């Protein structure tokens, strides 16, 4: 059973990377921007509570937990939404492209990621908060390969030489995703199946930016809907009554 929340207003801290920051790639401006209607802001507008978003572009779980330690004592959140893994499992692709015949390592190795996630969950629970994990949206392996190789055929060939197959990009990210789910179940921690929500769509790549990894505007809507469904199932008292009225009127 979900842990009860009786404080009013409820304080929620979102700890994550660029996805939770709301970063998308704007193909017109040819640069990354912060989406105004990102999933955190959509959810914020439907809650009776205070949401503090501490997410940062490029953040790994190790960096995130250091920032979270400060926020745990400063904000004293009731709920901490934890979203990491996309940067942790990533490699320095420029180095891979330049030296495809040597070993390369992810920004956070697999076992360290798992141990740090357990530490993060323990930290939140120890401070009387409720940790809620998000797993990873799937990536578009072909699109991501084009992006990290900067559409340079030599770089692309070298990266593929090191990988062995483009499908290894998806497989590698899936390992980290599986670790999140495994630890959630092992520690009896609530988690939200963002990956499943994306894979519900026959062509989930339409929910991603051209870089193959960041959810686009539609992707953020999918994440927001999944989180709101989770709140309805576990903590319906956190929703603004207008949200429920809107759903009833649609139905």
CATH number at residue 78: 3.40.50.1110
Q: Which residues make beta-bridge pairs with 52?
A: 13
On the question of pLDDT at 251 being above 80, the answer is: no
In a domain, 5, yes or no: no
With tokens 């180095």, the residue in question is 95
> Residue 185: is it exposed, middle or buried by C-beta count within 10 angstroms (0-12/13-18/19+)?
exposed
On the question of pLDDT at 244 being above 60, the answer is: no
Q: Grade residue 5 by pLDDT with cuts at 50, 70 and 90.
A: low
In a domain, 92, yes or no: yes
Q: What's phi and psi for 190, nearest 5 deg?
A: -65, 145
The 10s digit of each residue's pLDDT in 79-138 is: 999 999 999 999 999 999 999 999 999 999 999 999 999 999 999 999 999 999 999 999
pLDDT for 2: 60
Q: What's the CA gap between 20 and 13, in Å, rounded?
A: 11
Tell me which residue range forms the domain holding 65.
10-240
In a domain, 169, yes or no: yes
Q: What is the DSSP letter of 99?
A: -
In a domain, 68, yes or no: yes
In a domain, 246, yes or no: no
The 10s digit of each residue's pLDDT in 153-172 is: 999 999 999 999 999 999 99
Label residues 42-60 b or e (16+ Cβ within 10 Å = b): bbbebbebebbbbbbeebb
The 10s digit of each residue's pLDDT in 176-198 is: 999 999 999 999 999 999 999 99
- Please compute the mean of the pLDDT values over residues 196-222 and round it to a whole number: 98
On the question of pLDDT at 6 being above 60, the answer is: no
pLDDT for 247: 57
Q: Quote the pTM value.
A: 0.92
Q: What's the CA gap between 5 and 80, in Å, rounded?
A: 13
In a domain, 189, yes or no: yes
What is the total count of domains within the chain?
1
């Amino acid at each position: 059973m979900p842990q009860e929340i009786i404080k009013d207003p409820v304080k929620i801290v979102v700890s994550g990377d660029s996805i939770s920051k709301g970063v998308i790639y704007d193909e017109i401006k040819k640069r990354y921007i912060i989406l105004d209607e990102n999933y955190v802001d959509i959810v914020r507008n439907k809650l009776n509570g205070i949401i503090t978003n501490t997410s940062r572009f490029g953040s790994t779980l190790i960096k995130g937990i250091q920032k979270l330690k400060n926020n745990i004592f400063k904000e004293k959140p009731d709920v901490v939404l934890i979203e990491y893994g996309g940067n942790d499992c990533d490699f320095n692709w420029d180095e891979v492209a330049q030296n495809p015949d040597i070993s390369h390592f992810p920004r956070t190795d697999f076992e360290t990621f798992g141990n740090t996630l357990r530490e993060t969950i323990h930290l939140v629970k120890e401070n009387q908060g409720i940790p809620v994990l998000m797993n990873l949206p799937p990536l578009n392996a072909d699109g991501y390969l084009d992006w990290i190789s900067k559409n340079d055929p030599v770089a692309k060939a070298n990266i593929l030489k090191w990988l062995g197959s483009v499908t290894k990009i998806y497989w590698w990210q899936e390992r980290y995703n599986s670790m999140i789910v495994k630890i959630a179940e092992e520690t009896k921690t609530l988690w939200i199946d963002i990956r499943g929500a994306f894979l519900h769509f026959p062509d989930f790549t339409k929910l991603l930016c051209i870089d193959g990894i960041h959810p686009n505007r539609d992707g953020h809507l999918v994440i927001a809907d999944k989180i709101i469904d989770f709140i309805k199932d576990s903590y319906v008292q956190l929703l603004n009554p207008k949200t429920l009225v809107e759903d009833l009127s649609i139905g």
